[in-house]
């Protein structure tokens, strides 16, 4: 684990706001997200579907789907420079080389009319280091690293000739081909079986140790969070509800939503009739309530929760949560 105090963040997201402007209203997909990412660190991002995890990642990459979607506020500082101020040409030099992303759906990430080998080579051409060796040999080596069987023959396959799990591994090979400084993995293990998943995660850890790459790991799997991550950000309704070191978060969750997520993970040692689930539904992002967005589902709610959104509170060093219960005299 990186000693955070000993270095400067490679990526800082400050009060990020990404909205979708539709005929029915403004959808606040990302509404004031802030966090830091340090070299060699793995930051896990968890939360229910629709909480803003993937849209935060797409905002960092400059890939928010337009024209409806736009990043309207905040800063994304990469090596101290705001990516939101970069031109499209400047972002193309960063995206795929210095900051890479593994998307959720590998079929939409790969071009169906090119072989997987050519798509790996396309990324390798952007790396000066790769020009000293055969691009084909390097591409096959990458495919072997992500456990593609018979990589030499699979090199000439088209995406539709591969299983979903294989396509996911190819996308991973493309993402790490240029040895990026920051890798965003969005549900990168969803299509993989348990054995390949373990090998895939081990590969990411190995690459991280060799290169000092920072990783943002978006997932629903708390088991992966426990194994892979140094810190965890819990997102709800487009905001960060809590962020802390992984062990601190597991042992001492402070936000009611984090507590509820933890209770939702089945315990194989317990014999229960019914599994726990969080009551209710997340709020509509085009009609957010004035107070805490979790208030309608929270067992500890009181009047102020419905009137005003709580400020972030530092519970412990590097442990922040947004809940009125943590503010003295809030009631």
pLDDT digit string (tens) for 204-249? 888 898 889 999 999 988 888 998 999 999 999 999 999 999 999 9
55 membership: H or E segment, kind and range: helix 53-61
Length of the chain: 331
Residue 265: its pLDDT value, please? 81
Residue 133: its pLDDT value, please? 60
**Is the model's pLDDT at 28 over the cut of 80?**
yes
Residue 168: its pLDDT value, please? 84
Angstrom distance (rounded) from CA 242 to CA 312: 9
What is the dihedral angle through the alpha carbons of 251, 254, 256, 258, rounded to the nearest 10 degrees? -50
Residue 53: its pLDDT value, please? 96
In the sheet with 81-82, reading across from the earlier edge strand, the strands are 25-37, 11-22, 69-78, 81-82
Angstrom distance (rounded) from CA 232 to CA 9: 16
Buried b / exposed e over 213-238, threshold 16 CB at 10 Å, is bbbbbbbebbebbeebbbbbbbbbbb
pTM of the model: 0.90
Residue pointed to by tokens 């070299």: 39
pLDDT tens string 142-199: 899 888 989 999 999 999 999 888 888 898 888 888 789 999 999 888 777 888 888 8
Angstrom distance (rounded) from CA 217 to CA 232: 9
The backbone region for 50, taken as left when phi is positive above 0, alpha when psi lies in -120 to 50, beta otherwise, is: left
Kindly state the percentage of the chain with pLDDT values over 90.
62
Q: How many CB atoms lie within 10 A of CB 118?
A: 16
Q: How many CB atoms lie within 10 A of CB 22?
A: 11
Residue 104: its pLDDT value, please? 78
**Is the model's pLDDT at 270 over the cut of 80?**
no
Residue 1: its pLDDT value, please? 46
Angstrom distance (rounded) from CA 266 to CA 287: 32
Closest listed residue to residue 236, CA positions, set 300, 280, 188, 276: 280
Strand pairing report for 313-316 and 231-236:
unpaired
Q: Is 197 helix (H, G, I), strand (E, B) or coil?
A: helix
Architecture in CATH for domain 4-98+180-267+277-326: 3-Layer(aba) Sandwich (3.40)
**Is the model's pLDDT at 107 over the cut of 80?**
no
Angstrom distance (rounded) from CA 309 to CA 285: 15
What does the mean pLDDT of the chain come to?
89
Angstrom distance (rounded) from CA 24 to CA 27: 9
Handedness of CA 262, 264, 266, 272 (dihedral sign): positive
**Is the model's pLDDT at 305 over the cut of 60?**
yes
CA distances from 207 to 109, 145, 197, 200 (A): 22, 10, 15, 11
Name the band, by pLDDT with cuts 50, 70 and 90, for residue 328.
confident
């Amino acid at each position: 684990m990186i000693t955070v105090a000993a270095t400067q963040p490679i990526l800082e997201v400050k009060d990020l706001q990404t909205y979708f402007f539709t005929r029915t209203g403004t959808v606040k997909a990302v509404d004031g997200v802030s966090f830091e990412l340090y070299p060699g660190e793995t930051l896990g991002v968890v939360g229910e579907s629709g909480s803003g995890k993937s849209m935060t990642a797409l905002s960092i990459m400059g890939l928010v789907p337009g024209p409806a979607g736009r990043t309207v506020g905040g800063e994304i500082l990469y090596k101290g420079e705001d990516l939101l101020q970069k031109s499209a040409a400047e972002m193309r030099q960063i995206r795929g080389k210095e900051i890479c992303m593994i998307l959720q759906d590998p079929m939409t990430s790969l071009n169906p009319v090119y072989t997987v080998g050519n798509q790996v080579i396309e990324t390798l051409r952007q790396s000066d280091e790769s020009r000293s060796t055969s691009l084909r040999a390097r591409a096959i080596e990458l495919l072997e690293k992500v456990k593609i069987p018979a990589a030499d023959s699979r090199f000439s396959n088209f995406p539709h000739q591969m299983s979903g799990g294989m396509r996911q591994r190819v996308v991973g090979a493309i993402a790490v081909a240029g040895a990026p400084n920051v890798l965003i993995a969005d549900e990168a293990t969803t299509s993989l079986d348990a054995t390949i998943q373990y090998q895939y995660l081990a590969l990411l850890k190995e690459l991280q140790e060799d290169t000092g790459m920072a990783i943002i790991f978006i997932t629903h799997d708390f088991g992966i969070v426990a194994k892979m991550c140094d810190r965890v950000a819990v997102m709800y309704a487009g905001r960060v509800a809590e962020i802390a070191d992984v062990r601190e978060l597991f042992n001492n969750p402070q936000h009611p939503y984090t507590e509820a997520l933890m209770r939702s993970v089945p315990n194989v040692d317990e014999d229960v009739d019914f599994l726990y689930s969080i009551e209710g539904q997340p709020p509509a992002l085009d009609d957010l309530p004035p107070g805490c967005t979790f208030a309608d589902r929270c067992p500890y709610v009181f009047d102020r929760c419905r009137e005003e959104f709580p400020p972030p509170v530092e519970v412990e060093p590097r442990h922040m949560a947004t809940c009125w219960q943590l503010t003295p005299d809030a009631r």
